[in-house]
Amino acid sequence: MLIDTQDNMIVEPQNDADQVAIIEPDQLDNDTEQPENATLATDYDAIKEVVLPPLLEEPKILEDVVDTWKIENWRGLNKKEHGPTFQAGGYPWRILLFPFGNNVDQSSVYLEHGFDDVSNIPDDWSCCVQFGLVMWNINDPSLFTHHTAHHRFTKEESDWGFTRFLELRRMFQQPWGSSGRPLVEDDAVNITAYVRVVEDETGVLWHNFNNYDSKRETGFVGLKNQGATCYLNSLLQSLYFTNAFRKAVYQIPTAEDESIANSAYALQRLFYQLQISNTAVSTNELTRSFGWDTRHIFEQQDVQELSRKLIERMEEKMKGTAAEDALPKMLSGKVKTYVSCINVDYESSRLEDFWDIQLNVRNIPNLQESFKDYIQQETLDGDNKYWASDEHKYQDARKGVIFTSFPEVLHLHLKRFEYDIQRDTMMKINDRFEFPETLDLAPYLEKDADRSESWTYKLHGVLVHSGDLNAGHYYAFLKPNKDGWFYKFDDDKVTRATMRETLEENFGGEYKSSLLPARSAYQKKAPIMRQMNAYMLVYIRESRLDQVLTPVDKDDCPPHLQRRLEEEAAAREAKRREREVQHLYLPVKVITEETFRNHPGTDLTNFDSNPAEDPAAPRFYKMKKQMTMEEAVATIAQDLNQDPKRVRLWIMVNRQNKTTRPDQPIMDLRPTVEETCSRAIANGREPVLRVWAEVAEEVDAQGNAIWPTYQSNANGVVVKNDLILIFLKHFDAEQQKLEGVGHIYVSKDKRIEELVPVICKKMGWGDKLSGGDQLAMWEEIKPSMIEALKAKQTLKVAELQDGDIICFQRTHERKSAGDMLGKIPRLGDKTAEEVKRWDRFEDAKSFYDFLCFKRDIRLDPHPRCDKPDLESFILTLSSKVTYDQLAERVGDRLGVEPTHLRFFTANAQTGQPRGAVRRGPNATLGQLLNPQNYTQQSLQTKPNSLFYEVLDMSLAELDTKKNIKVTWLSEGITKEEVFDVLVPKQGQVEDLIQALVKKAQMEDEQEGGRIRVYEVHNHKFFRELVPGYPVLSINDYVDVVAERVPEEELDAPERDFIKVIHFQNDPSRVHGMPFRFLLKEGEVFSETKKRLEKRTGIKGKAFEKIKFALVRRYQKPVTYINDDDVLYDEGNSVEDDTMLGLDHMDRTRTTRNGAEMFLK
Mind telling me the catalytic residues?
Answer: 230, 473
Q: How many CA atoms within 13 Å lie on the side-chain side of 595?
A: 25
Q: Which amino acid is at 806?
A: I
Phi first, then psi, for residue 154 (nearest 5°) are -135, 180
Instruction: Using alpha carbons, list the distances in angstroms from residue 354 to 8, 324, 407, 478.
Output: 57, 17, 9, 23
d(CA 104, CA 81) in angstroms, rounded, equals 16
In b/e form, how buried is each residue of 710-741, taking b as 16+ CB within 10 angstroms?
beeeeeeeeeeeebbbbbbbbbebeeeebbbb
d(CA 1122, CA 409) in angstroms, rounded, equals 32
d(CA 220, CA 493) in angstroms, rounded, equals 9
Q: 922: which DSSP letter?
A: S
d(CA 365, CA 507) in angstroms, rounded, equals 10
Strands 126-136 and 189-198, how do they pair? antiparallel
Residue 843, exposed/middle/buried by CB under 10 A (0-12, 13-18, 19+)?
buried
Q: Which residues contact 884 (CB under 8 A, 6 or more apart)?
A: 898, 919
d(CA 491, CA 95) in angstroms, rounded, equals 39
Partners of residue 334 on adjacent β-strands? 353, 405
Based on its alpha-carbon atoms, the radius of gyration of the chain, rounded to whole angstroms, reads: 42
Phi first, then psi, for residue 620 (nearest 5°) are -115, 135
In b/e form, how buried is each residue of 883-920, taking b as 16+ CB within 10 angstroms?
bebbbbbbbeebebebbbbbbbbbeeeeeebbebbebe
Strands 941-950 and 961-971, how do they pair? unpaired
Partners of residue 811 on adjacent β-strands? 774
Grouping H, G, I as helix, E, B as strand and the rest as coil, residue 833 is: helix
Nearest to 987 by CA among 1038, 1032, 1041: 1032
SS (H, E, C) 225-274: CCCCCHHHHHHHHHHHCCHHHHHHHHCCCCCCCCCCCCHHHHHHHHHHHH
Order of strands across the sheet that contains 1020-1025:
975-984, 961-971, 1039-1044, 1011-1017, 1020-1025
Grouping H, G, I as helix, E, B as strand and the rest as coil, residue 555 is: helix
Other C-beta atoms closer than 10 Å to the C-beta of 71 total: 19
Strands 493-497 and 486-490, how do they pair? antiparallel
d(CA 950, CA 900) in angstroms, rounded, equals 6
d(CA 737, CA 1061) in angstroms, rounded, equals 64
Taking phi over 0 as left and psi of -120 to 50 as alpha, with beta for the rest, 440 belongs to beta
Rounded to 10 degrees, the C-alpha dihedral 708/713/718/722 comes to: -40
Other C-beta atoms closer than 10 Å to the C-beta of 806 total: 22
Contacts 24+ apart (CB under 8 A), 517-520: 517/26, 517/27, 517/29, 518/29
Per the omega criterion (within 30 degrees of 0), is the bond before 611 cis? no
